[in-house]
Structure 1
Amino acid sequence: MVHRYHICIAALLCALLGLLVLPPAGALSSAPPYQTCSNVILNGGFETSGNWTLGPGPLPPMYVNSPVYSGSWAMQTGSPGPTNALANSWIYQRITIPNNAVSADLNFWTWLTSAPNAGTDVQQALLLIPGSNNLNQPFQVLWSTQTNAPAWQKISASLINQKGRTLDLYFNVFNDGAGGNTSMVLDNVTLTICQPSSTPTVLPSVTPWPTPVPTSLPSATPFPTPLPVSSVTASPIPSTTAFPTPAGSATPLPPNCVDIIGNGGFEWDGDWAFGWDPLLPFYNNNAAFVHSGARSMAQGAINQSPVTTPAFSSIRQNIVVPPDAFSANITFWYYPISNAAAGGFNRQELILLDPLAFDETVAVLWRVTENSQSWQTQTYDLSQYRGRTLSVYFNARNAGDGTWTGMYLDDVSVVVCDSAVAVQLPAVIPPIATPAPDSGIDSLQPGQPNDVATTGATVISVSPVPSSEGSPSTAPTASSNTGSDEPRRERQPLSFSDLSPAAVLGLVSFLVILVVVGIVLLRRRKEGEEHASQSTPIDGTPDG
């Protein structure tokens, strides 16, 4: 007969087995998903002269090597010296907050100077509707101050209220031209966006970089002259609360999708960097060569005149493909013109470049020599480039042999969707594994204080620079600053549905064994009661 203490020991062993295979306490009651986080700001440490659009004017922004928070360079706006003028001094970069973002945290470091009699001068961070360029009517004022604080301070703001939108992130200093001057030095700009991720990825541990040591010398040695930028004409927008759709925009996107290309319809002057070559691209407003909206982009020998000098005619724009995107697809419309034979150096093409690796060719997605003189479309899958920073490079190349090749380009989009949306795509031609053009990619041509109502609530925090005592004296290199493009994955508590098969098996086994033990105990109890009712007398004689 099995004794009850044997059953208790078995139950105890089963309970211990269940504790070994079950997750820690609290894992079943918490349900946040895994998250994938990445910084979407390009060149936030200003270590190169790209990715930011610098405004013109009497007080233009400039790259400086002192003061810097980390690395070798920072960005100065406004006027720290004796020169004063009525002017805005601004830089901007286009950003996109995905629909499924769970957080979007902007951080940047500032070194602020402002004279006591600075009048209406102001230092500020703004969000503008793409293409509006109107600093007097921003979409949202993130931060605005007039402060004299010649020491590094960290400014933080949450942009989660703008998810699903593409906006221009402006940093601006306004000087009223009278009294004292106002300036701002900017460094280590990051916008960290976290999105749900269905599967966790275990990354190797990374040794943290030494704490950067701020420098405080006031001199400002100019960065090698940045490439010229087009002037911007400010124009008012009808409302600061509505988010208008630019003319010529494509069909509305599905839920949980966002177009991360800026100005894909070329309806305003901005977002695209032009190659500096004899056949300069230009914005075309001839309706006969526009696919939708009011304008398109003209590239190459669109006037059908013989070209006797080898020439590129290129535009490009940098993008970051989210690391956990379910799908990412580039679509564009083109109107090809050429009298050259196919297969030579006269061609229309789309190439992906790596701006973080000296424009190394990533893939030649499309390369043709066509003369249909009608609008055609192409779509390519970019999902294999998740987590990468890419330059989308369109080019119309002429070999200089007396023929002519060109194209009009319109309605460019890079639509990124999360896992809640499945996008059906046409067949995609795989990238051509060929190098970049033989002679290389051509070189690039690279308001007042506001009192309008802001849109949405923004959380702002200001942090002084941490003490540098005891920290190494060597600052991180450009590749190691906080603007790294490497994604960061954060492990969150599991929900029940995320348990491993072993944990589920252990839980089920534990419950089954408890049920069996309970049945055995009940049966033994019943047998004991039956035995007691049929017991013999004490003297050992049967009842008679």
Structure 2
Amino acid sequence: MTLRFRRFSLTLAALLLCSSALLQAQCGVERWSVKTGTDADVGKVNLNSTTSTTITALRAPAAPNPIPANNRVSPTETTVWVINGTLTVYKLENDSDYHMVISDAAGNTMITEIPSPSCVSASSPFLSSIQNARAKFDAQLTATTSFQTANIPVQVVGVGMFDFLHGQTGVAPNGIELHPVLDIIFNPGTQTPDFVLSTSPASTAVAQGSSGNVTISSAVAGGFNSAVALSVSGLPAGVTSTLSPASIAAPGNGSSTLTFNAGATAGTGTFNVTVTASGGGITHTATIALTITAAGGTGSTTTQIFGNPGFENGTASPAPWTASTGVINSSASEPPHGGTFDAWLDGYGVAHTDTLVQQVSIPSNATAATLSFWLHIDTAETSTTTAFDTLAMQVRNSSGTVLSTLKTFSNLNKATGYQQQTFDLLAFKGQTIQINFLGVEDASLQTSFVIDDTALNVTTPSTTDTSPPTTSVTSPANGATVSGVVNVNATASDNVGVTQMQILIDGTLVASNTNATALSFVWSSDSVANGTHTIVSKAFDAAGNVGTSSTITVTVSNSSPGTTTELIVNGGFENGSANPSPWTVTAGVINNSASEPPHAGSWDAWLDGNGVATTDSILQTVTIPANAVSAQLTFWLHIDTAETSTTRAFDTMTVQVRDTGAKVLSTLATFSNLNHATGYQQHSFDLSAFKGQTIQIFIQGVEDFELQTSFVIDDVSLKVTQ
């Protein structure tokens, strides 16, 4: 107890000694990966689609508890939102963000933030949009380290992000922000509409004699409605490029695949290639860092080899780190750079030594080995010349003998916020070494050395994947005549793995998913003119290869518009848990927990997920008219599981059609823990065989006695056309 108090009081004293003068700007800390698009879930954000909303609507949902450090809460944090409001105050924060408070007519406020592009990784798909937004802000206003007032109508485009509450100016009650802002339009009613240009990734490597792909995306704002023409310049000698398509159709929302083709004699090195997008009298550019590597069929793979790099295993299980007692920390006195935990060495104000060690092996064929970590130093020492307290950054052999002291930090290196440190360890390839942090504090006046988000990135030669995925549209058949509601299905495979699938109808993207080998789309063919239409599927892999299916041509023939009726009532479960009617449900199934967020709205149906023997179900009775020409059941399903088997279905969910006496007429599908996937997937079933009957739509989840599987259902629909 005394130890914790001593650390807190001395740290507080050190903070009080800091002057209010302008400090060197730093990059951010908590949830920084989510704020800048380097998190594990950034692929779930569709940069080609925006959703208009209001400040009031975004302030309504409860904040997740706990807020995940490096993952996104769907759909709030996976949607690009568009908000119209009034910019009231703005400021340059110490983490280099532009902190902007916007309000609505009722006085409701929320924060929107534009990170500094220098703090955003080149791998972030948000980078070019952040650069654009920052430039547009700078053209209108000058942000300083003090809040300045404004009263300017703005339209802000950005990705939702729940921040931790710590008294921020203008913060919403649930901590929701637009962070990052991807575009901002001042006086939107009077300015020319605009579009946002982005690239993913922002850098890529291509070997001589090979090719590589980058996705170019355009997202419209402010009522922009024009085709966007694309071009490429700055290609190095021996490299050509193609854009497919070369123009994004009006209104300007969409994407294009940029393919770089490197000749066998193309010069090696890194080159800045410029993509120019023009439309509606507006031109934007984005830069891609293109690296051409030597031929020979080999590229490289970079792997982070530290275990528990952010100390998120907590105090009870720091392994594979070996740490002095009390070093692994979650105290608010020294908050982490990211996540919940950090490593806090020293900070006692008495003679003390702390260590933090991890043993690793660097492969003998490594071509690069870079150690990095984020370090925060605060101190109560006042000397500007004497290093009283030190942190030595050592490399030791497996016996503990010091091979090299990379650097020694001290109280003289104190700074506001975290600083990233990097060291080249390639000299130790082929060796098993210990990375040792040694903190030594003298007899008085504390110095705290706080370490977080370590990484040891090792690059080794690897075979370049140049094989594109294969994909095909499995239904409808080529040459088919279709009408009403049509199930469009596609499959894909790859020698390494499929990272994304898309379905395009008449060249327009209508459906996509990630990390799956099948994709379905329910197409209302009466939404298009009678005649010939084309269907294509695309599949992507991690190397940027793209596979495109053969074109399926169908003839749409809807003799009359017909009348389409929705038979399912409360299909999104938005009546809440207190009134699930007309559903009959197991107690506790109707859910609005942030642990399993809905596909849309505020509620979903969460079956099982208890890790014990459980049976949950939902049921609704409907009557399909005898004159129905189509009856299509659809729902969105998310499955996550703690099961590890890739062959056994321990937990299952069945979808059945039953008669009013509960007799099973048809089992439409059975899902299990083997079908777990990131995000929601839509499923569709033809129920026209049951026209003229009153039936029960019955969905039942059965879980065994251990290791949870959650079956989360939302947006159930049964549309009947007569």
- TM-score with structure 1 setting the length: 0.31
Compare the two structures and name the one with the higher strand fraction: 2
Which is higher, the Rg of structure 1 or of structure 2?
1
